[in-house]
Structure 1
């Protein structure tokens, strides 16, 4: 199992909307995450900086990366683009974090 951490950034005032959209996560998006090896997925928000910290366990980096090219994932990116920093293709601006400690 690969433990993957990353960070993204919300626009000011969008914390409640971000949480609402994730509480209503589309079933097709949940299925895509699982089909591409994602498990135990959590996202945390630092309200002072509006930085999101994500954690997910994945089976395989290559399988996980293929999820980005699915139609449902692209639709999700488009849906989220108005509330967070994104790249020109509407993918979230995301920076991988280096794992320095893990305890099961």
Structure 2
């Protein structure tokens, strides 16, 4: 199966959900400790903006061996919640601060994963 065919299948599956979102980031291994520490003290205004934009059950998971971060959140409409968050001034500041920790070639933008199975 080609990548194009698989991508089409993933985006058209009946088990896709506009209410759940999963994404990947990669943290620079030499910055992992500091990155985790910062997330123990997320700015209150950032936390409030996430809530105000509809983000719920937001979790980050880390694989320390290589800095892989898996993020997950729920919202009534995850695309709308991400768009709303991207318009927040506090998010712009937070992302600028966090960019130094990521190895992504595009400056730290998350890779969003497609849901293809869900057991309710």
TM-score, normalised by the number of residues in structure 1: 0.85
Q: Please say if residues 28 and 101 of structure 2, whose CA atoms lie closer than 8 Å, have aligned partners that are also in contact.
A: yes
Out of 102, 108, 112, the residue aligned to residue 84 of structure 1 is 102
Preserved contact between residue 58 and residue 64 of structure 1 (Cα < 8 Å): no
Higher-strand-fraction structure: 1
Once the two structures are overlaid, the 10-residue window that deviates more, 71-80 or 9-18, is: 9-18
Q: State the Cα RMSD in Å.
A: 1.9
Deviations 1:44-92 (A, max 9, x none): 111222111000011222243121121100000111121113566x5x2
Aligned residue for 1:23, secondary structure, equals coil
Provide the residue aligned with 1:29 in structure 2.
46
Paired residue for 1:59? 76
Structure 1: 5+ residue stretches without partners: none
Residue equivalent to 2:32: 15
Which residue in 1 is equivalent to 2:118?
102
Tell me if structure 2 keeps the 8 A contact 1:2–1:59.
yes
Secondary structure of residue in 1 paired with 2:61: strand
- Name the TM-score, length of structure 2 as normaliser: 0.75
Larger Rg belongs to: 2
1:43 to 52, 55, 60: 60
Provide the residue aligned with 1:74 in structure 2.
Answer: 92
Structure 2 gap ranges (5+): 1-17
